[in-house]
Amino acid sequence: MPRAWPGTPTRAGSGNRSQGRGDQGTIVTIVADDPTVPGRSHLGPDAVITWVIVAIEYAIVISLLAVAGIVLVRTVLDFLDQWSSFPGTVVGAIDGILVVIILLDIVHTVFRHLRTSVFPVRPFLVIGILAGVRDILSASAHLTLSTHLANVDFNDTLISLGVGVGVVVFLLLGLFILRISGHSDEID
């Protein structure tokens, strides 16, 4: 039986079919040169390219985890070191923690793609919403904590705030449409 790999969509359990949908609406991928099938070349070009792509994706996951860990440690250290300017450090801590959450959501989505060969839409909508909320919080904090803002800075911050709100509203609308359409990215 062929093995599922990223690259060529096929129907689960169909054997000879080259593409289609699985039982749950997810696309399952089959590689013709599966390196684990006896009698097939273990070093065919498709197999080598597939393994290189998977290795790079795992390197990306590990790199994102390292960056998330570094950002979290730096955020906590900066928060504890600059205790005297409390309002500013709280905003910085929230900003750093939201960046870590966004990075972890990206890692989770990429890792899920590696395990299932499915690239879901919903996590990216959630990541976009989190990024929009982060921008809204940052713009709001900039307006609140700045003692003196020039007219241009004030207008730029309001535009940034409006764009952030617009992005969040449209992504929430996309998430709502995804939910009512009955499409599910969840793996059973």
Could you report the per-residue pLDDT of 68-110, keeping only the tens digit for each? Answer: 999 999 999 988 888 777 777 887 888 888 889 989 988 888 8
Residue 16 lies in a domain: no
109-137 b/e with 16+ CB inside 10 Å = b? Answer: bbbbbeebbbebebbbbbbbbbbbbbbbb
Average pLDDT score over the chain: 76
Q: Which domain holds residue 128?
A: 120-188
Which residues are within 8 A (CB) of 161 and not within 5 positions of it... i.e. 6 or more apart? 136, 139, 140, 143
Domain count, the chain: 1
Cα–Cα–Cα angle for 30, 46, 41, nearest 5°?
A: 95
Average pLDDT of the residues in 141-150: 74
Which residues are within 8 A (CB) of 136 and not within 5 positions of it... i.e. 6 or more apart? 161, 164, 165, 168
Residue 147 lies in a domain: yes
Residue 105 lies in a domain: no
Residue 146 lies in a domain: yes
Judge if pTM exceeds 0.75: no
Residue 188 lies in a domain: yes
